[in-house]
Amino acid sequence: MSTMHEVDYQIHGDDMQFVEIELDPAEAVVAEAGGMMFMEDGIAMETVFGDGSTRNSGVMGALLGAGKRLLTGESLFMTVFQNQAAGKKRVSFGAPYPGKILPIKLADVGGELIAQKDSFLCAAKGVSIGIAFQRRLGAGLFGGEGFIMQRLTGDGWAFVHAGGTLCERTLAPGELLRVDTGCIVAFQPSVDYDIQWVGGIKSALFGGEGLFFATLRGPGKLWLQSLPFSRLAGRIIAAAPQTGRGGREEGSLLGGLGRMIDGDNS
């Protein structure tokens, strides 16, 4: 008997999207802590250890689920939103930065998906959020996303977020695609993932694309993002104003606002 909750959903917006999930009575959805946008009256919110999956039963199961999330760098806790009312109720979750929300029915992709640890947004209760170790040492050390990625298993709906524009590709058996390591959102476990040296000292040092590519070899489906959060954060840091001797940002909008506030308070 399946323990997956068959939820209905609708995605709103263009670049700053949110997903609105409709829950029948007793249905539930699990999400990262802090991802909720709004919920209607009648939905109860509960913080749980691990991923909230019914597969993790008992104290040891809960501890194992929480430990897996700790290894991926995520919080030990997740939040379960359950409809305890007599009729349908809605809860929504917002994307953390500009991009697209990708809904994936795990049953349609073989019941399993490997995803970036930061891409998971929410899922129908019953989907298990575990860890996927990279088999090769090179992929673990230089893969950009580290040695550990998230493994989503089950047959229900899962929602992941991609930064910028989303690209979906289906690789034929043996077909190879070289990708910037940060641009990977998710892929089927049938896709072989490895790391490759870019080749050439000039390309490595001055090409601006880093020292390593990710290589994805088919068969299988994969999803890519045009704007990884790490790239967005890097550009923001590079454009951040310099701090003057007095500890104040100079020559920027933020610095001007700070001076205006100081003037109002003087």
| Mean pLDDT, residues 203-221 | 71
Q: Is there a contact between 78 and 32 (Cβ–Cβ < 8 Å)?
A: yes
| Confidence band for 60, pLDDT divided at 50, 70 and 90 | very low
pLDDT at 22: 96
**Three-state secondary-structure class, residue 109:** helix
Name the more confident of 52 and 124: 124
Average pLDDT, the chain: 78
Closest CA to 89 of 155, 38, 163: 38
| Confidence band for 2, pLDDT divided at 50, 70 and 90 | very low
CA atoms within 13 A on the CB side of 36: 19
pLDDT at 55: 47
Could you tell me what percentage of the chain is helix, strand and coil, using 3-state DSSP and rounding each to the nearest 5? Answer: 20, 40, 35
pLDDT at 114: 93
Element (H, E) at 263: helix 253-265
CATH topology of domain 8-164: Double-stranded beta-helix (3.60.160)
pLDDT digits (tens, 9 = 90+) for 106-140: 999 999 999 987 889 999 998 988 887 655 555 44
Lowest mean pLDDT among 87-101, 159-173, 238-252: 238-252
The domain limits of the chain are 8-164
Q: Would strands 220-225 and 184-187 be described as parallel, antiparallel, or unpaired?
A: antiparallel
Structure tokens belonging to residue 143: 């893969």
With a CB cutoff of 8 Å and minimum separation 6, the contacts of 183 are 224, 225, 226, 228
pLDDT at 204: 47
- C-alpha torsion sign, points 157, 163, 165, 170: negative
**Three-state secondary-structure class, residue 54:** coil
pLDDT at 123: 94
With a CB cutoff of 8 Å and minimum separation 6, the contacts of 31 are 78, 79, 81, 93, 121, 122, 123
Residue 68 has pLDDT above 90, yes or no: no
pLDDT digits (tens, 9 = 90+) for 161-176: 999 999 999 999 999 9
